[in-house]
Amino acid sequence: MLIGGRRKSRIHFEGISGNCPHCGNSKLSVQIFIKYGHVFWIPFIPFGKSTYLYCEHCKLVLEEDKIPTEFVSQTTQITSGIKTPKWTFAGLGLFVFLIVFAFIAGSFINSAGNKEQDDYYAHPRVGDMYDGMTLFNDGYVVYKLVEYKPNEYKFLMSEYAAETILGLTNIKSKNQYSNDTLLMDSSTVKEYRKNGTFLGVHR
């Protein structure tokens, strides 16, 4: 469950000159709040500031649009001098950081995996298992390399085909292969890797 919402925090407090429009006392101040969205109480993104006129004596609080004109130039000057605090972007920063991190980690893992596959394809060994599709593309099978000479691959195809790629585990555990050999040259193997007939080599 995602918990989020809006919150408000006071970021500035400053006394101003003048008398309270309600009680006439001179203990007036400007209070500035920042509004921000949070996710799990982590400030995510700021929505803007709100300014209030506050009287310490009678506790009068006036919202920005109700501040008497005589105070407006003072309050707007103070408000415009207050920057949006960086912590209100914390969640957004964390989010961007995690995405960048996941992207870098992902591409690193991917390139490591590809490197291993490149190596298996470049230096085949008898016993290598090629996960793949049938030549008619109607099921998932395992091709087992039973003989290899440069430019001549001899494969046996698994006796059974699976409907989904997940079924390949079961097919491997059955360990049953057809007696008909499939002969392929290097360019065919390369082509099958490219067009997805071969999905990956396991050793």
Binding residues vs Zn ion (CB under 5 A): 20, 22-23, 25, 55, 57-58, 60
Please identify, using beta-carbon distances, which residue of 51 and 197 lies nearer to Zn ion. Answer: 51
In a 13 Å sphere around the CA of 181, the CA atoms on its Cβ side amount to 10
Residue 56 CB, nearest distance to Zn ion (Å)? 8
Please report how close the Cβ of residue 76 comes to Zn ion at its closest, in angstroms. 21
Would you say 19 or 114 has its CB closer to Zn ion? Answer: 19
State the Cα angle at 81 between 27 and 53, rounded to 5°.
30
CB of 59 to Zn ion, least distance (A): 7
Q: Which is nearer to Zn ion, 74 or 117 (CB)?
A: 74
Whose Cβ is closer to Zn ion: residue 55's or residue 129's? 55
Closest CA relative to residue 9, chosen from 42, 36, 28: 36
* Strand 177-184, strand 198-202: pairing: unpaired
To Zn ion, the closest distance from the beta carbon of 66 in angstroms equals 14
CA dist 8 to 18, 37, 49, 111, 115, Å?
Answer: 27, 9, 9, 45, 51
